[in-house]
Structure 1
Amino acid sequence: MPPILDAPGTAGVPSGPPVMAGPDITARWALPDASWLRTRYAEALRAAGFAGDDGSDNGGDDAALAAFWRETGYEQGLVPSPLFAEDWYLDRNADVRMGVTNGIFASGFMHYCESGFLARDPHWLFSERGYFDFNRDLTLRTVRAAGYANGYDHFLACGDEEERIAHPFYDPAVFRQSCEARRLSRAGRFGGFALFLQEPAARTLRTSWYFDPDWYAATYPAAVEAVRAGRYTCLLHHYLTNPDPTAYAPNAFFSEADYLAAAPDVAAVIRDGVFRNGYDHFLRFGAREGRRPIAGFDLGEYAARPDVRDALRLGRFRDAFAHWAAHALTPDSTPQLLSTTVSAGVVSPAQCELLLIERARIMVPILARTPLDLRCSGTPDLTVIVAGRSFHHLLAALASLQGARPGSLDVIVLDTVCSPETATLDRLVTGIRILPAKEAVPLGSALRHALEMAQAAHCLLLPMGARLVEGALDAGLARVRASGAGMVTGQAVGEDGRVREAGVTLLRDGSSQGFGNGVAPFADPVAHARRCDAGCDAALICETEALRRAADIAPKVDLTDLPPIAALLLAESGKEVWYEPCFLSRVVSFGADLSSPGASRPGVAPERFHATLRHKPVAATPTWPGRRSPGGNVLFLCLTLPEPRRGGLALRDLAILDEISMAGLDVTVFSLDAAPEPPLHWRPGLQERLECIAGVPLDGFLQARPNGYDLVWISGCTVARRALPALLANERLHPATAAVLDLGWLDAEEMRRRRLTGGVADEALFRRELSAELAAAWLARVVVTLQPHDAALLAGLGFRDLPRLGHRIAVPETVPDFGARAGLVHTLPIHAPGDAAHDGLDSFVHSILPLLDRSLPAEADLLIAGPVDAAVDLFPLTLLPRMAPLRQADDPDSLYRTCRVMIAPSRVAAGLPYEVMRAAAFGLPAVIGPDLAQQLEWRDGEECLVAGLHETARFASAVERLYSDETLWRHVARTARDAVRRMADPARFAADLDAILRQARDA
């Protein structure tokens, strides 16, 4: 057998020609390509006397040529196919070049076969590390276990066809689109990647959004000439390997000169050889940091556009720069500096109405064949009153009811214009009652008549031009049931895509002002359910009797003016009005100016409702609905919006918000830092109860909401220090506001514990650090601690009687037993490179996990599934034995039910580790460090097993014992579950939080 087949990287490669290769081949990059060999090594083949059977210089048949390469060709340094870039490999690896020069290796390819395939890149367009980094479901161990030599072998065998990315400059999906546009077949043994390397026509196509070959050819004719001369295989090869990398730009969207001029720090590290050029840094870090790729374009603002954010969340693009490059390219390959915000342009009311009419006209022939069925069977749940300026408005509104609660609607149509077309509506829509008019009548008169005919206890009012979106009616009715409200209104969105109304504020003079006018649907001010005063232009659900009484008081008003009167009547009887954001309707503007969000509309006579209106504001802002909750209004200040995937204290913050909002208080969550995306991962039902504001100046926010809050909850000392100037500057506007400072974890305590692990005990330094951390604590009426230990620390600074608020964790009744579990798991959040969790995990993987390789069963891999900051690179750990692919667990509870042992090897901890406690609640015992055990007050051999990272053998033994000893495992799991029941009981959490709120208000 030829020696090449004995190389580890080519195990399993058959000795037959490549065309006969079977599906069991592993190292695809080692298969000889006869056609390529003839072209690449024509001179070498002739010199070796290798010719065709007919004496020609065609290199013989494929089988003979493949056999020649396997027997002797590889010894001459011949590379089997274009899948390996020999010259680039030698340039990239100076040690290999020296080995080839000294005769240690016949070629760079031979070095790659013997050892390089495990860690080194074989080609300038493939990154072994990048392949695993882009595809977190794969590791070197998993692909080798599946029969592949390495990541490159897996990519060639199936990854390319699965459109997995391994290099920023080769996206299989983009290349496929390029081939389809040029009608170039991608058929072949190795898919598109090999086609790009082999076919001259394919090498001219775009392979990613990061490089534009057409623009590059037009901009750098010298590069085209270098390719034509054979010094480079294509323009992308030239860009990625030329000796003067900062002299060339990859496309019209990036400028090396602009980028380096704006980033002198990057220019310095490029000179040191850390990065190839500015674009290399930009793709690896700059795009994520929001740096400008070219003068005049703010990538950070562009990335905040909703359409861009959604595309990135769905994985359609790697970053905002790729999205820009894909959408801003004109036919002549010049970039457009797209707006960093979405602008709908100016849409006139006449255009909106015309669009509505055209849509309705399209429906007529369809409904003439198959009428819309709105018949009611039995007693209706809801009476629907629909009005419109014309036949087409009515038809559009009725069509929006299709599929909404079939068989339970009593639909009444108001014909106020005496249109001949309206009389034909019952031919297109069955089950409706039309109030005909022999001549045009006032809408108020028709409305009173409709209310007298209403059969249901609640009415749905659809104002003129309003249409419900799918699911809106269910959302509105659900809010009626959940709140017991007498009226529920929703978002009214205009044809320009902006909010026209999201609830109404009643003013003291009886007039009303719409809230949220001009903002995007579901933007921060209008995204949560809340109490409000009324609704006008939006669809709304109201108690029928209240509407009838309102019509008696004001018999001449229409569908938009009647609800405020009904809302005031409901308020007199103690009923509430709620705004539900998902109760959404599309509306047409009939002459109203959507660009004037501050405009108010005439209202009722204030003397009739003086007792209620006297408590209303004289004026209101369209971005603040005012104080709404009779229970109180809470401003929750935090650094970033808390999300479950951040773990730790973020989960505790969410528990606090949940309890406060469930207690009937209105809550505004204010993030000092801008939110990268909406909090889509919050527990269902929580987001709709909270108003979320992120990234706006706190000072201006407080000025716009005088006397807006009864209590400010400050999440952490860092937030307190940053918020202090704004809170002091606006103290006169919020004189009655109480403040609660929730300490969470103390940074000074963590630093003290870090020093103690190194044998340094400097109590004076600790006190100075703690005093600095608590510099803004004097502002708070109540200071809350996470654990009793913190209260003892603060007593030395004069803080007394500090309440404690721990974690909230519900312990399941049943959990899987020992035999139903397998594997190790680490879910502690890693928030920064080198933090306590990162340090502990890294030490465990390198120093302790190797000791367990022989003692643990094969299935006992370590899964890292906790929150990991983007700046932390854990990829190198996945190359080590017993490491499972990295994953961000959307549902960590499922892991706590299936894994057998949790490891929490942090050397230090500044507070109660939520993840360890939650894992214990689900029956997952842990091996933890002494510091964590001290914080939890857990005992070794009872609630956990304890070992320090410096005690590598003891830590490994503890993991092995807990994993293998069923009796020990059951004892620890049971004891830990009991401990969590005591420490994190939800009822106790709610009671403690209620006591803290009462203490703050009463202090």
Structure 2
Amino acid sequence: MRKFLWDESVTGRQSAWDHFDLAWMKDTYPEICELFGPDASLSFDEILLLAGTCGYQPNPYFDEAYYVRRYADVRHAINQGQFVSGFDHYRRSGCRDRNPHWLFCEEYYLRENGDVARSLANETEFRNGYDHYIQCGDEEFRSGSWFFDPLKYIKSATETGIKSPFRHYLFHPKNVFDNLYFDRVWYAETYPEICLEVKKGSWHSLLHQYLSNINNNTYDPSRYFSERFYIESNPDLVPPVASGQFISGYEHFLLYGIRERRRPRADIDLERFYHHPYVQKLFLNGRVPDVFIAWCRFDGIVPNVQDLLEQEEAATKFSFEKKSAALAINAARSRLDFSCTQPDISIIVVLHNNFDMTLNALTALRSSHRRDIQLIIVDSGSYDETCHIEHYVKGATLLRFGGNVAFIRACNEAVRHAQTPFLLFLNNDTEIQLGSIQVAIERLRRDPKVGAIGGKMVRSNGLLQEAGAVIYRDGSVAGYMRGASPDVPEANFVRRVDFCSGAALFTRTELFKNLGGFDEEYIPAYYEETDYCVKIWKSGHEVIYDPSIMTIHYEYGSSNIKDGTGYINRNRKIFNSKHADFLSKKFVKSKLNTGTARSVKNLVSKRILFIEDRVPLKCYGSGFSRSHDIVTTMSEMGHEVTVFPIFKPVVSSTRLYNAFPDSVEIIWDRDINDLEKFFSERSGFYDILWICRTQNVRRLVPIIEKISHLMPSVRIVADTEAVSAVREEQYDQLVGTPEDKRPTLSERVCAEVECLLIATKIVAVSRHDADFLTDYGFTDVSVLGHVQTPKRTAKRWTERTDILFVGAIHDENSPNYDSLIWLVKVLWPALEGVLPDNARLLIAGHLGPRVTIAAFPQSPKVIYIGELDDLTSLYDSARFFIAPTRYAAGIPYKLYEAAAYGLPIIASDILCQSMDWEIGEEILQAKTGNLKNFYDVIIAAYHDHALWTKLRRNGLNRIMRDNTEYKYKKYIGEILG
């Protein structure tokens, strides 16, 4: 029986790795039995001394030789007699930030498992990440290292039923497995001498040798990484690698270098490769863990997916036909049911032969909308199995013509039988997608101006046929973004368009009848939907493109391209003769005009290009919440807004679309390097260029000067968001930078605001900042703060005990990070013993990719929550909101949000001064960085019910007076002019 010996006086807590497994040691090191006998029972101290003296592992989970070899300071401490062994060091202090085994990285584990990091920070039963990994994570198939994929290990193992892959490997260390970050085959071919060492038993495996050996630039893990190049290119890594902070340059690369897109080898440019749209999509969809693995997988060469799909369209059409044939068989066995009592919409499908494809279209239609549909089928002289369509479909209205009366006349006749206010004309060579019909119905019900709606038309090869369509001055037409990927930004926002394809076109029944239906001069087909949409525009209604409506279209499935071309040429002349007045106002046909011609301008709205550091999600804080509200408000006002980020997003594009109104165009696949080309492609399109943050104005000045001739009439709004010079001055004062070692405030401000001279309008976040800018010579500075809707939380004063801190922490240099550290390390320890036992400090907010909760200081009753989509429950449980900011610029969004939730605020004076709220009546003020003053203010307020009630009431009243949506729209309208 194995003995587990614990020394709780040292650890304070038992951990899964913190024991001596004497039976395992005797099996692994037989000489123990020779020295002490097979039945020897040794004390804890004896085993600890033995392990340290002989370099023995105390148990399979801790590798003594690796630990001592890796950390130079540990070797030195052992030599000095401070610790008996590496295990002794790890138990006493190393467990906080050292790696106990060559196949586990504490930092990697906590970064990849945010729930574990949060759990550790909030004082759970686990001592560190490794403790969690052994007790829980291994059984949950989590990975503790880049080099150990648990599922791949299970697949490679000869045994079955492995429940804890890492533990299994520790007891079977000679098992060989592959992983993405270490090329075992290449390594063996490159370093044959290591193979000999493995055979001799010096190492368990090639990976064991690589990760355990202090290689001094000798070994590379694959042909895609050069240790020597990486160290020489990053000389700052020499000391931390030498000290064992990183076992190699490769470990630094895996932890930080990949995210920073440093070069792993002289001829590998990860920065360039990362920006390839296909690579980004792979990364954001989780199909590759990072850009380095993407490079390895493709050997640095990404296939041109769109070219491949274009070349394979014939094959994809055959595939479409095969699937249609299979679905036809299914329909033969189970009729499609379109029986209805109260249909939402009348859907007209015109047929002329092509039975298999028809059944495919009707199957997709039935699946896309489970509510009642009035299906009107018009059989226009079919002679294939379509003649018996009623055997395969029930509940439809069926109209039959003896001959082929053509699509146009068939549709007009079918509309006579429509029983609903809405129509959908649908080709029988389409597959309309789930949710599309409901989206169209809701838009038609919601907006009476909308006369017709079309959606994203995708060809059988997966590329766009169109995302709305353009009419040029000569009457020619073009599908916008044809041949592009369906996920491109340009195809994924709602806009007004010239027309949409008749292959799937929604409209109003009464409007269709009033406008005379499809003009039969265009019989048999082509240009009839173009003509109809132009008549809609002339009637005062609008034609809308909505990307949430999506249809797969087997192009020319119901006709042939040769006949189609002939009809198009003929009918274009008819169209031109009917709509010369309309065409005279359209753009001349040119590829350079496509970006401008793609949408029909609303004469009472503006086209706005909004530039921000990143696509502004509210959860990012740091001014992004305000930017999000500005974009959303402008869109709700009817303006056409394009968001262009200086830096590409690091989140999935789907998350971005979920966060904004559907009419906002989000350029998620480009950054500042693409901005000049973007301006050129959209020459003359925008009325307003809104640049958020002064540093971005500075970045854009040379670009604007270079392309100003392309937008001579555009108005440039410089939204300062905050005066950064003030924050920099406060920071220098905080850290004690001598005055003669730093610029004066005046010098800082002048350097910051000089770039604003390029703007036609300057915006500040507060009257305080506006006055500041005015003092430096800028006139007529507009103020645009924060918008809030009061949402008073329900709990009474007696039900609230917590103090809440909310703030985004993008990196360790952010003001919120400084606030948090001061709050937890300095202020909270003083408060904790005085506040009631059930009082907690709650900390919530977005964390940047380089910030982990595990690095935050731990304290009893401090709860780290991280990012939440909805903070209502936190605002409802807290008695006060605290903002102990020690250096800042602008006004934090979180203060207005807290007040809107009815939560009284205690903030540092540097924040209160910029808010212009009445101290003691609407907000409580404490001296910045002053422990005693903050303590006194909090303790006095915490127990004062009357004060709490007054602050709550007055804060809400201030929000309702100054920060309503109505006023926000008014302010934005004045800025836009």
Normalising by the residue count of structure 1, what TM-score does the alignment of the two structures yield?
Answer: 0.86
In the alignment, the residues of structure 2 paired with residue 153 and residue 268 of structure 1 have an alpha-carbon distance, to the nearest angstrom, of 29
- Deviations along 1:52-88, one digit per CA (max 9) or x if unpaired, are xxxxxxxxxxxx56x4465854443364322121222
Q: Deviations over 1:648-676 (max 9, x none)?
A: 32121222222222122222223343333
Distance in 2 separating the partners of 1:443 and 1:236: 68
Among residues 449, 471, 476, which one is paired with 2:435 in the alignment? 471
Q: Confirm whether residue 382 of structure 1 aligns to residue 361 of structure 2.
A: no
Amino acid at match of 2:643: V
Of the three residues 19, 35, 46, the one matched with 1:47 is: 35
The C-alpha deviation readout for 1:497-532, integer Å capped at 9, x for no partner, is 111111111122222221111221131111100000
The one-letter code of the counterpart of 1:533 is D
Q: How far did residue 275 of structure 1 move?
A: 4.2
Residue 927 of structure 1 corresponds to: 906
Aligned residue for 2:205? 234
Secondary structure of 1:581 counterpart: strand
Counterpart of 2:581 in structure 1 is 611
Deviation at 1:5, TM superposition (A): 3.4
Matched, 1:183 2:148: no
Residues 391 and 349 of structure 1, relative CA distance in 2, 3 Å threshold: farther
- 1:239 and 1:245 in contact (8 A); partners too: no
CA contact (8 A) 1:302 1:340 kept: no
Provide the C-alpha distance between the structure 2 equivalents of 1:257 and 1:559, rounded to a whole number of angstroms.
Answer: 68
- CA 1:353–1:491 in structure 2 vs 1: closer, same or farther (change >3 Å)? same
Q: Distance in 2 between matches of 1:649 and 1:964?
A: 33
Note if contact 1:418-1:436 (Cα within 8 Å) is conserved in structure 2.
Answer: no
The aligned counterpart of 2:505 is 540
Tell me, yes or no, if the aligned pair for 1:667 and 1:689 is still in contact at 8 Å.
Answer: yes
Name the CA distance, whole Å, in 1 between partners of 2:91 and 2:651: 45
SS at structure 2 position matched to 1:47: helix
Where 2:17 maps in the other structure, the secondary structure is helix
For residue 436 of structure 1, give the secondary structure of its aligned residue in structure 2. Answer: strand
Q: Secondary structure at the match of 2:457?
A: strand
1:909 alignment partner in structure 2: 888
Q: 1:358 to 1:687 in 2, by over 3 A?
A: same
Task: Tell me the equivalent position of 1:692.
Answer: 666
Distance 2:863 2:180 in 1: 31
Report what 2:320 is aligned to: 356
| Equivalence for 2:465 | 500
Distance 1:731 1:97 in 2: 64
> 824-833 or 39-48, which moves further after superposition?
824-833
For 2:752, the aligned partner's letter is E
- SS of the equivalent of 2:662 reads helix
Rate the CA distance shift 1:685–1:722 in 2: closer, same or farther, 3 A. Answer: closer
Question: What is the match of residue 496 of structure 2?
Answer: 531
Mapped contact 2:306–2:484 kept (Cα < 8 A):
no
In structure 1, how many angstroms separate the alpha carbons of the residues matched to 2:629 and 2:684?
Answer: 26
The 8 Å contact of residues 877 and 883 in structure 1, kept in 2 or not, is answered as: no
Aligned to 1:408: 372
Distance 1:867 1:513, change over 3 A: same
Taking a change above 3 Å as real, the CA distance of residues 775 and 607 of structure 1, as seen in their structure-2 partners, is farther
Is there any run of 5+ residues in structure 1 with no aligned partner, and where?
A: 13-25, 52-63, 329-334, 999-1003
The answer to whether residue 61 in structure 2 is matched with residue 83 in structure 1 is: yes
Pair 1:806-2:780 in alignment? no
Q: 1:192 aligns with which of 165, 175, 178?
A: 165
SS of 1:247's equivalent in the other structure is coil
Q: Note if contact 2:122-2:864 (Cα within 8 Å) is conserved in structure 1.
A: no
Q: CA deviation at 1:808?
A: 0.2
**Structure 2 CA distance for partners of 1:142 and 1:582, relative to 1, 3 Å:** same
Instruction: Find the counterpart in structure 2 of residue 816 from structure 1.
Output: 795
Match of 1:421 in 2: 385
Bigger Cα displacement from structure 2, 110-119 vs 384-393 = 110-119
- Say if 2:724 is the partner of 1:747: yes
Give the aligned residue type for 1:569. Answer: K
Partner of 1:577: 543
- Offset, 1:711: 2.5
Residues 967, 544 of structure 1: alpha-carbon distance in 2 compared, 3 angstrom cutoff: closer
Q: Which moved more, 1:39-48 or 1:299-308?
A: 299-308
What is the CA deviation profile of residues 909-964 of structure 1, one whole-angstrom value per residue up to 9, with x for unaligned ones? 22111112212221333332211111123455443433335422332344444455
Distance 1:823 1:874, change over 3 A: same
Match of 1:706 in 2: 683
Distance 1:764 1:372 in 2: 77
Q: Does the Cα contact within 8 Å between 1:878 and 1:886 map onto a contact in 2?
A: no
Q: Tell me the distance in 2 between the aligned counterparts of 1:690 and 1:851.
A: 48
1:826–1:862 CA contact under 8 A, matched in 2: yes
RMSD: 3.6
Give ranges in structure 2 of 5+ residues lacking alignment.
Answer: none
1:28: which partner in 2?
16
CA–CA separation in structure 2 for the residues paired with 1:284 and 1:304: 20
Q: 2:24 corresponds to which letter in structure 1?
A: W
Aligned runs of 1:236-635 on 2, under 5 Å? Answer: 236-256=207-227, 259=230, 275-294=246-265, 298-300=269-271, 303=274, 309=280, 312-313=283-284, 318-322=289-293, 337-339=301-303, 344-378=308-342, 381-387=345-351, 390-406=354-370, 408-416=372-380, 418-484=382-448, 485-536=450-501, 538-544=503-509, 547=512, 549=515, 553-558=519-524, 560-590=526-556, 602=572, 604-620=574-590, 621-624=593-596, 625-632=598-605, 633-635=607-609
The residue that corresponds to 1:790 in the other structure is: 769
Displacement of 1:295 after TM fit?
5.9
Indicate the SS of the match to 2:966.
helix
Q: Distance in 2 between matches of 1:774 and 1:495?
A: 53
Deviation string for 1:255-280 (max 9, x for gaps)? 43565576676679757876443312
The code of the aligned residue for 2:423 comes to C
Please give the alpha-carbon distance, in whole angstroms, between the structure 2 residues aligned to 1:500 and 1:430.
32
d(CA) in 1 for partners of 2:549, 2:527: 19
Contact 2:847 2:866 in 1 (8 A): no
Contact 2:456–2:548 (Cα < 8 Å) also in 1:
yes
1:973 is aligned to 952
Matched position secondary structure for 1:775: helix
- Distance change in 2, residues 1:315/1:610 (3 Å): closer
Q: Which whole-Å deviations, capped at 9, do the CAs of 1:464-499 have from their partners, x for residues lacking one?
A: 522201111112222222333111011101122111
Q: Deviations over 1:879-935 (max 9, x none)?
A: 455543462223334432333433322222221111122122213333322111111
Partner of 2:141: 163
Contact residue 749 and residue 910 of structure 1 kept, 8 A = yes
Note if 1:673 corresponds to 2:647.
yes
* CA–CA distance in structure 2, aligned partners of residues 873 and 144 of structure 1: 13
Q: Distance in 1 between matches of 2:305 and 2:267?
A: 14
Say which of 616, 622, 628 aligns to 1:654: 628
SS across alignment from 2:470: strand
Q: State the Cα distance separating 1:588 from its structure 2 match.
A: 1.5
Give the structure 2 partner of residue 855 of structure 1. 834
Identity %: 27
Alpha carbons 2:495, 2:546 under 8 Å: kept: yes
Q: Does 1:718 align with 2:695?
A: yes
SS at match of 1:667: strand
The answer to whether the aligner puts 1:637 opposite 2:611 as a matched pair is yes
Tell me by how many angstroms 1:533 deviates. 0.8
Query: Cα deviation per residue 1:786-820 (whole Å; 9 max; x = unaligned)?
Result: 11112222222332332221110111144333344
The number of residues matched between the two structures is 952
Q: CA deviation at 1:31?
A: 4.3
Give the counterpart letter for 1:657 in structure 2: V
